[in-house]
Amino acid sequence: MRAEDSATAHKSIAIAEPGPLSRTLSDRRGTALAATGVIAFSLTFPATAWALEGLGAWSATALRMALAGLLAASTLWFAGARRPARRHWPALATVGGGVVLGFPLLTTLALQTSSTSHAAVVVGLLPITTAAYNSWRHGIRHSTLFWAAAVAGALLVGGFALWESGGGLTTGDLFLFGALLVCAAGYGEGGRLARELPGWQVIGWPLAVALPFAVCAALVALSLEPAEPTLRTVAGLAWLACGSQWLGLVVWYRGMSVIGVGRASQLQLAQPLLTLVWSVVLVGEHLGPLAPVAAVGVLACIVVTQRSGSPAQRSPATPADTAPTAGTTPTAGTAPAAATERTAPEAGAGSPEGRHRERKVESNIDAH
């Protein structure tokens, strides 16, 4: 089989079962990529606070999308990326609605009335929400130990953030809870899609498609909202577009495709604590004495989730999930389909067709 109409470049090789050392190295690489994304995301709230010093919420969000969309569209054009297959677009739309538009807009609106430390509570709840969404949507089963550590970490981070903010609910909490839900959906669908498309295309295509709308929205918002940009405003906006919205998500989705959505999402338990540190250094907010205690507890939860074992599918994949439809060719990430075909029931193994199929089974691996 050869990929002639795929969104990425492929080369065809015979299937080989990876050894323990190869899987370990792959897991470490995926964890490092996802952790890099978390570090980039931890600067999002402080950067948003900087941007809001000279821009309105709608202007900051639209300009962030427009600049990131320009980077994404340029990268797709220079790389000669092919248009994704039709079956990829529903997941890409979810990524666009949740990660490109929903989360940035809702958190920016929330930060108009909430401090960065209070807003960090939504990030503390995001890992378990993402894991729960992935479990519900894609039938992924995690161990009891995984869920126990995830719930403990979420409660610890949520309680710490609420304690640091005085324990009171603000009018921005509804925006934060909405951001939590749409971002979990975007992470869940994007993480699965990154097994078939490179991470930079998973976030790149939604940003590129949204670019014309973002430019129009930015022009309208700037005409209606006051704008007095300062150096910190420009720096914050630049990081939101380049770091949080583009480069951070590129490595994040790539990491998720390697170690799984559930395990990658638990790395975000460290994000609120990093955000609190940045809020002190960059925004000048006060950080209480409980931060070291919370940091140790969160790191312990992360270690447990990362060592809890690989998740399992709730039920066998259907033929629609494991085989290409008529008239299409497999894309990267369809190795499970090839493996299923190779280990098919032995009833036809002795037939000429069965022997021919065994000789021809190949797996397409994307060149990232």
pLDDT tens digits along 222-275: 999 999 999 999 999 999 999 999 999 999 988 988 888 878 888 888 888 888
pLDDT reading at 320 higher than 60: no
For helices 199-224 and 57-79, what crossing angle results, to 10°? 140
Distance CA 243, CA 175 (A): 23
Q: What is the tens place of the pLDDT at every residue in 172-222?
A: 888 988 998 999 999 889 888 988 999 899 999 999 999 999 999 999 999
Residue 360's identity, in one-letter code, is K
Q: What is the tens place of the pLDDT at every residue in 16-58?
A: 455 666 667 778 888 999 999 999 999 999 999 999 999 999 9
What pLDDT does residue 7 have?
46
Q: What three-state secondary structure class fits 356?
A: helix
Mean pLDDT of 143-147: 85
pLDDT reading at 327 higher than 50: no
At residue 311, φ and ψ (nearest 5 deg) are -70, 165
Predicted structure pTM score: 0.70
Average pLDDT, the chain: 78
C-beta of residue 7 within 8 angstroms of C-beta of residue 84: yes
What pLDDT does residue 195 have?
86
The tokens for 111 are 């930060």
Residue 47's identity, in one-letter code, is A
- Angle at CA of residue 342, ends 341 and 346, nearest 5°: 95
